[in-house]
Amino acid sequence: MAAYRQILYHIIFRTKGSKKSINKEHSVDLYKYIWGIIKNKQCILFRINGMEDHIHILSDLHPSVALADYIKDIKVSSSIWIKKSGLFPDFDGWAIKYCALTYSYKERDTIINYIKNQQEHHKQESFQEEIKRFFVEQGIDLDERWFWEDG
């Protein structure tokens, strides 16, 4: 039976302790690895990018995949790969918490461009300011511990 869906998620997660451990020179290798995880889940990656302390992913979510499992698989598999690769010597892991916001397909190109321009964007807005803004826009109450608790 065919399943029709439009489940578009903007997923954001940070490094443990918000440590700046995703170095720019090897970040593309990490993004390619995560893309492989996403493809193996039968999901579609529209854009991935980030900064030294966090990652943004815009992807479709296949109906057979639960969001929490999807994010857990991305974080666990990429964490193992990061540690084995030796490309990110300061990486201690991902924080447990994440942010997953839904958007319509009409908004897809806007979110793609936003994620594409992370480096430029973060010259003017910190990660904390960014998350706070997203939460306000989505009507979500932000618990400030999101930034500091890794458990």
Residues 67, 13 contacting (CB under 8 angstroms): no
pLDDT digits (tens, 9 = 90+) for 57-70: 999 999 899 999 99
What is the 8-class DSSP label of residue 61? Answer: -
Name the residue ranges covered by the structural domains of the chain: 8-147
Rounded Cα distance, 11 and 6, in Å: 15
Tokens 């990018």 found at = 49
Mean pLDDT, range 91-108, rounded to an integer: 93
Give me the pLDDT at residue 115, please.
95
pLDDT band at 146 (very low <50, low <70, confident <90, very high): low
What is the pLDDT, as a whole number, of residue 56?
Answer: 97
The pTM score is 0.91
* Domain 8-147 sits in CATH 3.40.50.410: no
142 with 132: CB under 8 angstroms? yes
